[in-house]
Amino acid sequence: MVDTNKMDRNASGGAGTEGGRRPTGVPAPPDAAIALADGGKAPEADPRYPNPQVVEKPVRRRFEKTYKLDILRQADECVDTGQVGALLRREGLYASNLSNWRWQRSQGLLAEKSSRKRTAKQPTQDPRVPQLQRENVRLTARLKQAEFILEIQKKVSEILGIPLRMLDNEGND
């Protein structure tokens, strides 16, 4: 039995592509010659030819509140079988989008007048905080009073000529 593929390659002068390499007698593709002539860049480095190995990161779509409300209004107006599906196909949406948007509408998150921006959730306050703040104010006032009394004691001891160190030592015995 004779291999016809081998015969075809031999008949064409050995210009087959077996093994993935270009035979010596076959010229390079015209795109590569143009790219090399333009700036000496290989086709894979040229921005006109995107690299097939690098996948672009998809960008997540965001929808305005007005758009969501408009689509929900159109979906609510659909009465015949298949109209909602046609609407979703036309707009490039999923049924889950409608479900989520209907839930948002029921929660009041799609209200047109509401311009509520998302913020970080406020931490809940410990119920002891007001009591501790009052106690802090009371103790601060007592501290000021004690410091005032110490200042008076220093002045009295200075006027009477009683050294404070002797008083400090007597209190420790």
For position 173, what pLDDT does the model report?
46
Task: For the chain, give every domain's residue range.
Answer: 27-54, 65-106, 145-173
User: Averaged over 24-30, what is the pLDDT?
Assistant: 59
Give per-residue pLDDT as tens, 67-102. Answer: 999 999 999 999 999 999 999 999 999 999 999 999
Task: In whole angstroms, give the CA distance from residue 18 to residue 100.
Answer: 54
In this prediction the pTM is 0.38
Backbone torsions φ then ψ of 118, nearest 5 degrees: -75, 130
Rounded to the nearest 5 degrees, what angle is found at the Cα of 123, between the Cα atoms of 121 and 125?
145
Q: How far apart are CA 125 and CA 58, in angstroms?
A: 41
Distances from the Cα of 118 to the Cα of 114, 115, 121, angstroms: 12, 10, 9
In the chain, the amino acid numbered 83 is Q
What's the mean pLDDT in 97-125? 82
Cβ 25 vs Cβ 13: under 8 Å: yes
Contact 14, 23 (CB under 8 A): yes
